[in-house]
Structure 1
Amino acid sequence: MLKEKNIYKDELPVSVVVANIEEYPIHFHDDMEVVYVLEGSVVLRNGYYTYTLKQGDIFILNDREMHSFANTGEKNMVMMLQLDLAYFSKYYDNLRNNFFVTDMEDDSDESLEILRNILARIMMEILQKGYGYEHKVIESTHNLIACLMSDFQYFVMEDGKFVNEAKNKGNKILAGRLARITDYMYDNYSRKLTLNEIANREHLSIYYLSHVIKEATGLSFQDLLSFIRVEESEKLLLGTNKKIGAIAEETGFSAVRYYIKHFETWYGMHPLEYRKLFTGKVISRETHAQYTRSTPAEIEEAIRQQVKGVYTDYINKQKAKPIIVDVNIHDDYMGYRSKSLELKELMERDNMKPAAGPYELLKSLGETVVASGKNYIITTASKYPGPLSNLSILVYNFSEAVEADLKNTTSKETTLDIIKKYDEEIEFLVRCSGLSGEFKISRYKTFRDKVISDLEDVIRPHGTFSRREEIISQWTSMPVIEFGEFTSSDTLSLRTTLKGFSAELLLVDKK
């Protein structure tokens, strides 16, 4: 069972594990894997070559590459990020079967620093799981792929291993051509494949194509093809009981002796010797990966040490403690008693009408209040004693000081000035225990700029806006509307992050 299936959760096309690795048997994925050593060191065996990766090292395991990990004797922390190529291949041609090589002479190379920053951002987004984090993770992963395609597709052979070749960096024509060539070779290695065939596909002369391949990889066309065939044969050697004659034929070698010769060139031993040595070290039901997952606190500390700027950015964003709203469905829905609504008192003031749009929407539903606080109101259209099948959740972002200032004025001009100055970011976490099932969610979010624009519309005399100002005002006034679905087993948890005086109305309905 050489192939390990990646599981992607939360509708994300990436999966990440950060762990202290003891031993991870030989396996491969259909997807790309990015390995980033945050602490210590780890032994990575990738096909025929064994690497010792140290803190700060990044290694790209291209799809279907055989690999394993082993402990060096010291504690390690390794980030293993898998990318769903079925998803990302829709955006990048020839992403499968691509070579990305990050082994560089200079560990402080700017391109590697960029990769470290991107990986750290992906990890921090996944750890924090703030509002819209899925989009940020996907965006950062696109940046990761773009960086790989720009700076890490070029390699040469040195001391028996592939290393990054910086001189071709930025040559997009060469990168695209190399990607097409290797992709075609991986798809057709099992049959007779000639340089002339690929030259015709690329509309190049045989001589020039041979030069391109040698320049970009350090290998001749025939050596590169033999490498691909030998690499693919490893899966058959360790994953099947096929005889080496059948394996040689299946991987495109015209004779067993040529297969043995090229296998020994790359792996340093006879194929049967290799099979005997490594068959028992393959991942299977009996041979499991042995690792201990790192805690979020351990990961954050490692990122703080490795990529200080990224960590500082996130810490600055997290300075304000989140507002946590805990709702117990049994106690609140079944036993709620009407009481003064603090948010209502603020939103129904005359000077606050331009900011009360989301509140008015909630009010228009005419629902029963389930819970309320200074910054939030939760209502439902369900009627007790029937089951609770929906919730309407309204949250506003403002501080106690802002609330006091807004209540102490009736002037719209002063209200505008207060709202303009307030720029804090707050995360809301609403947890509804006792609510399970499949739900649809509709989100209506307005921003501080809309509140400011609406107040300015009220204050400024009509007819004094230019057409350009009117258009900009209309754009600013547009809310963000999103729809989604999720499943809750016992506690329904919803997050949202608001910056400045802003609001979000969430309508949750059981499917």
Structure 2
Amino acid sequence: MSLLHPRHPHEISFLGVQPYQTMLSGNLTLNDAALEIIDLLLEIPAGFAQCPPHLHTWYELNYVFEGHMQTSFGGSLLDIHAGEFFLIPPGTEHAHTYEPHDPHKGVCLRWKVDRKSEDTPANTFSTYEQLHVLSNWKPGVYADEFGLGQLLMTCFEKAKGSGSSIAALLQIVQVILAITELSPERKRWIETETNSDHALLRKVEIYLNDDQSYEVDVHRLAASLHMSYGHLARKYKKLSGHTIMDRMSQIRLERSLELLRCTDQPIQEIAYITGLSSLSYYSRLFKKKYGMSPKEYRDSGKEKGAVPLPHRI
């Protein structure tokens, strides 16, 4: 029996809770699935005009109760109105545009799911497989003809009464399981560019520009795109002509140019800030790329009154 029942959006009352306050979070194990509820929160982006393109390693469900917003999945902007929702699988590029002076009111639910490491008995129903089917969800906008909004409101009610209790977490699981039952034919729009080669390059670019750590977790990047790292590395090299690590080094060197031009920070500190492991390694990469050392680049700018962009070799 389906968990969702038709319910018109105007029948749903709006809950008065604080925007962006996490109503519940927690972890559950269901058969062979390890489910992490990251957060359930009310979204009212007052004063914000946009959220730039980005991607993440968790699922995100967004439901609009009042007003409207715009979202893109690597393509043109789409209008999402009251009583509509969309689901963002891990590794899917997306961006949002808001009305800063008349923001929409909506709900955001984020979660992750992994398969338990322990072996499960043969012929056991796989909860993981049922939940993991959403990883293949093609981004689109859905009208709520099923009562999903009411289920989300029930989650808020339970969270307000008992916090992150087992009952409240199980209510969230009901929402997620309900989404797995939806027919893909019900979406009114599909982004056909999402799985294109161009979109893959964009996703890698966003991830690398966001990463500030010393060592890029390339395996996490590949996992967010539902690919093995070997396959991703080969495909990226074929499409771009560069390795992922070469592109990461280029991004970090370009960050360092701005710091050399616009600050008086020590060069060793710039190497640290940009995520390059040591001053010697940074200097070696810089000279190979631009034909001069970071110090020579900075000094030439001081002599001329402005730091020129070095010629690439």
> Could you tell me the TM-score, scaled by structure 1's length?
0.30
- From the two aligned structures, give the one with the greater strand fraction: 1
Query: Which structure is richer in relative contact order (CA contacts within 8 A, separation 6 or more)?
Result: 2
> Could you tell me the TM-score, scaled by structure 2's length?
0.46
